Structure 1
Amino acid sequence: MKVLLTGATGYIGSAVTDHLAAAGHQVVALTRGPEPQPGRTAWHAQVVGDTADPASLAGVVTPEIEAVIHLAPPSGDVDVDTAVIEALATPLRGTGRPFVYTSGVWVLGATGEAQEVGEDTPTDPIGIVGYRPRIEQRVLAEAAEGVRAVVVRPGIVYGRGGGIPAILVDRAREQGVPEYYGEEGVRWPMVHVDDLADLFVAAVERAEAGTVWHGVGESAVPVRDLARAAGRAAGVLVAPQLVPVEQAAQVFGELFAGALALDQSVSGAAARTVLGWRPGRPSVLAELVSGSYRPVEVFGAPEGPQTEAEVAAIRRLVAEVEHAQQNELVDRFLGVFRREDPVWTTGHGNRLSGFEEIAAFTRKVLPGAMAESTAVYDVERVLFLRPDVAAVNVRQQPVLPDGTRITDRPEGRPFYILVKEDGTWRVGAAQNTVVVD
């Protein structure tokens, strides 16, 4: 399909562009001006228009346009946004072609004691999205006019280093303490931006007219846990701080502060069942701790998706080292080593050769070792010596069981030689080194 996409240059729009193109569709990007956009190689074409000026949209939906995805943010004026829907949807009437509108789960308001509420839940919007349900209904009314009108409500979007979680990371770095807002038990429904992009592709291809879909990968993530993970991404290993919504309003404004303090539990099950949507990217906590919010220096490999995928796999391996160590899981820790002749020099200078020697040492020392303290492991640099061999620098910080940094204990700098065998990265050689001032 040839798909007109508003908001194509934005955070979500960039991901949707990539996934539409990968699915074989042609993206026609709506931009405010005719100037070429460097790096937008996935676009098939550009057309000029501005969703803040509905009159400028006349003629952008030509007969060749087979679908419209409206991702541009609302203007804040209900009349303007209604006129935009009119301009974009009217040319599709009587064609059965899809019009997909982007709303959000904030239209549901606080879900209270209800768990994983679905698309049939009545809306109760918070102030920042006060009139959005009216726009949803305006879109869905186009189904009676022969338009395959669909509404997608994303959860809080993360991934690619962006979205609201990036604000938590920046605040933790600026304030020296991770923050979360409102009350202790606040939860957010979350979705990875690339999983969400998959849902938009599914909606434009398969969703029936007049339907609403929740784009939620994780229904209710405690924001205190998000704050701790954001602190980790910012290199701030202290306990998160609860900020009252009134205080947050002084930083973010009253409306956005109210949204950050909104407690929700929202289901995305319908899209999985009916549309075959399969969100499978890393969880938001994993993404914050060892994903796109923590840049890694990479050497010896070309930039591109393949290298990014390999670095992500290496980070998952190091995260497995951390998980196994913290939870004293002997077999899982041994699972990170290759079986053929691995070597390991421990932080105390023990030189271990061969899998059996490493296994015997681990079974002796790991159980009970983390009762009072443990460590976190962050990949900092990756040098690809060959496509299947990588040298990896890791930062190891000692922490208490609650994740708080132990300030009077030195850091470590593990160095791993990783080997990719049968599609899986494993440790071939490792050396743990204590940092001495």
Structure 2
Amino acid sequence: MFDTGGNVMKVLLTGATGYIGTAVTDHLTAAGHQVVAVTRGAEPQPGRGWHAQLVGDTADPASLAGLVTPDIEAVVHLAPPSGDAEVDTAAIEALATPLRGTGRPLVYTSGVWVLGATGAAQEVGEEAATNPVGLVGYRPRIEQRVLAEAAEGVRAVVVRPAIVYGRGGGIPAILVDRARTQGAPEYYGEEGVRWPTVHVDDLAELFVAAVERAEAGSLWHGVGESTVPVRDIARAAGRAAGVLAAPRVVPVEQAAETFGPLFAEALGLDQSVSGAAARTALGWRPSRPGIVADLLAGSYRPVEVFGAPEGPETDAEVAAIARLVAEVEHAQQNELVDGFLEVFRRADPVWTTGHGKRLSGFDEIAEFTRKVLPGATAESTAVYDVERVLFLRPDVAAVNVRQQPVLPDGTRITDRPEGRPFYILVKEDGAWRVGAAQNTVVA
């Protein structure tokens, strides 16, 4: 959330119905601004949170004429490019012309793919030269066309998002679907390919910051994590799909048969990109869990929820519970005694092991853990996935977990039975902790 200084703006938003546009709408309205959505049709879309809805199509620049009326105080251009440089240039012209001489913002959405592969360079910044892959080949020219509007009295700004994730969408959703349909997680290009990433809600907050206070002629990288091994992302996508198998790398040429050559080339880009400038200059503070954490215990994993109303507050609590269970898994897999004990509340916890041993009180659980956890994962370990949450009270939840035995590389051990841990979690001082747990082997 950003301080608007009491300056409520009416913001014209293209791409308002899209994945990023939906999040940007939410955060602009939360910051007190009014969103005027540009949609291709006039059919009302209730529940969007828009102040108004106008008809226009960025692939038909003539349809944008007259949309930027004198009461529009900012324009955010989120709609995807048309694939035609002349059409996209004309769309910028239509949106920018009414803003000239006003000092009002025009924020254009590009992407880090314009940088191309960054090679040995680490965390390249906004000053780096562009070397776009074919999918975004002409987009640097559109960026420069937008930034040139600063000389015409427009507060022209360009934002380059990284690989966007969160809310169960974006490219990671493709990886989850591919893992499910192919029976193994996959990624594209070379073995060591890396992606810069950003959570869609963190990115939306950067757009709010750009609208409110980015300087004319400025360009910003929307990057939360500068570089994440895509093998790790693919493995997590497999988990989200319920597929426990080692990730496989697919050459770009083979991926082109599924995605087409241009998109496959982009998916295979190896990049390390910095988002530090926006943090320093705009006060942007990306705070959501990283892409791997979100795939493992966040928006890409369906969880049945009972006893609580649907909505963002319940979603946040379920995500926090999933993160706690992910801490259990991490501590078990890495034999972290203190990390495992940290998940328990200190006041009278109870734990019944998978072998039926009942442990009462924190000290007894701690003594047992210190004896059995070190060395326990030399040959195998387990993964833990939240399947159902029943809220008995807002601060007490019963949680059903699926526990699957795996080899150290994450491959499922098929001849060993699953477990069904059952946890009673208690929220104390804002954090969920295990009050009682029982590990049950599935016969």
In which range does the TM-score fall when normalised by the shorter chain?
Answer: over 0.9
Structure 1 residue aligned with 2:164, among 147, 153, 157? 157
Q: Which aligned pairs between 1:190-229 and structure 2 lie closer than 5 A?
A: 190-229=197-236
2:410 to 403, 406, 413: 403
Cα distance in 2, alignment partners of residues 334 and 237 from structure 1? 27
Q: Does 1:376 align with 2:351?
A: no
The alignment status of 1:112 with 2:119, answered yes or no, reads yes
Query: What are the Cα deviations for residues 248-273 of structure 1, in whole angstroms up to 9, with x where unaligned?
Result: 10100010010011111111110011
What is the Cα deviation at residue 38 of structure 1? 2.6
Output aligned runs, 1:119-130, within 5 Å.
Answer: 119-130=126-137
* Structure 2 partner of 1:424: 431
Residue 36 of structure 1: SS of its match in structure 2?
coil
Cα deviation per residue 1:129-179 (whole Å; 9 max; x = unaligned)?
010011001000000000000000000100100101111110000000111
CA distance in 2, matches of 1:52, 1:180: 32
Q: Which residue in 1 is equivalent to 2:31?
A: 23
Give the Cα separation in 2 of the matches to 1:256 and 1:332.
Answer: 41
Aligned length: 435
Structure 2 residue 15 is matched with structure 1 residue 11 = no
The residue identity in structure 2 corresponding to 1:6 is T
Letter in structure 2 aligned against 1:223: V
Residue number in structure 1 paired with 2:10: 2
SS in 1 for 2:346: coil
| 1:82-107 Cα deviation digits (max 9, x unpaired) | 01000001000000000000000011
Q: Which residue of 2 aligns with 1:353?
A: 360
1:39 deviates by 2.0
- Give secondary structure in 1 for the equivalent of 2:216: coil
- State the shift of 1:228 in Å: 0.8
CA distance in 1, matches of 2:339, 2:381: 16
CA separation in 2, counterparts of 1:420 and 1:7? 39
Answering whether residue 336 of structure 2 is matched by residue 309 of structure 1, we say no
Report the counterpart of residue 148 of structure 1 in structure 2: 155
Please give the alpha-carbon distance, in whole angstroms, between the structure 2 residues aligned to 1:200 and 1:135.
Answer: 18
Structure 1 residue 5: deviation in Å?
A: 0.4
2:44 match = 36
- Report Cα offsets for 1:324-358 as digits up to 9, x if no partner: 11111111211111111111110000011111111
Tell me, in whole angstroms, the C-alpha distance in 1 between the residues paired with 2:182 and 2:46.
35
**Aligned runs of 1:324-343 on 2, under 5 Å?**
324-343=331-350
Residues 1:60 and 2:67 are matched in the alignment? yes
Matched letter for residue 273 of structure 1:
T
Q: Secondary structure at the match of 2:329?
A: helix
Amino acid at match of 2:199: H
Match of 1:344 in 2: 351
CA distance in 1, matches of 2:392, 2:380: 34
Counterpart of 1:34, as a letter, is A
For residues 75-128 of structure 1, the C-alpha deviation after alignment (integer angstroms, 9 at most, x for no partner) is 001111001000001000000000000000011111111111110011111100
The equivalent of 2:3 in structure 1 is none
* 1:13 CA displacement: 0.2
Shift of 1:381: 0.3
**Aligned-partner Cα distance in 2 for 1:311–1:127:** 41
Name the amino acid aligned to 1:148. R
Residue 263 of structure 1 is matched in structure 2 by 270
Q: 1:89 aligns with which of 65, 87, 96?
A: 96
Offset at residue 422 of structure 1 (A):
1.6
How many angstroms apart in 1 are the aligned matches of 2:257 and 2:339?
Answer: 46
User: Residue 75 of structure 1 aligns with which residue?
Assistant: 82
Question: How far apart, CA to CA, are the structure 2 residues paired with 1:408 and 1:315?
Answer: 27
**Cα displacement (A) at 1:289:** 0.8
The one-character-per-residue Cα deviations of 1:221-276 (angstroms, maximum 9, x if unpaired) are: 11111111111111111111111111110100010010011111111110011111
Give the alignment's TM-score, normalised by structure 1. Answer: 0.99
Structure 2 equivalent of residue 321 of structure 1: 328
Identity %: 87
Mapped to 1, the partners of 2:267 and 2:207 lie a distance apart of 25
Equivalent-residue separation in structure 2 for 1:58 and 1:271 (angstroms) = 32
Task: Tell me the alpha carbon deviations over residues 375-419 of structure 1, each in whole angstroms, 9 at most, x when there is no partner.
Answer: 111100000011111000000011111111111111100000111
Partners of 1:76 and 1:392 in 2: how far apart? 48
Corresponding residue to 2:396 among 389, 394, 403: 389
Q: 2: CA distance between counterparts of 1:369 and 1:101?
A: 53
Q: Secondary structure at the match of 1:8?
A: coil
Matches within 5 A, 1:232-251: 232-251=239-258
CA RMSD between the two structures? 0.7
Cα distance in 1 for partners of 2:57, 2:42 equals: 12
Other structure's SS at 2:51 match: strand
Matching residue of 2:5:
none
The CA deviation at 1:293 is 0.6
3-state SS, counterpart of residue 228 of structure 1: helix
Instruction: Identify the residue that residue 173 of structure 2 maps to in structure 1.
Output: 166
Structure 1 residues 11-20 or 325-334, which shifts more? 325-334
Q: Any stretches of 5+ residues in structure 1 without a counterpart?
A: none
- TM superposition shift of 1:421: 1.3
Structure 2: how far apart are the matches of 1:360 and 1:243?
47
Cα displacement (A) at 1:305: 1.2
The one-letter code of the counterpart of 1:30 is: V
> Alignment partner for residue 301 of structure 2, among 294, 301, 306?
294
Cα separation, 2, equivalents of 1:61 and 1:89 = 8
Aligned structure 1 segments of 4 or more residues deviating by more than 4 angstroms: none
1:414 to 416, 421, 426: 421
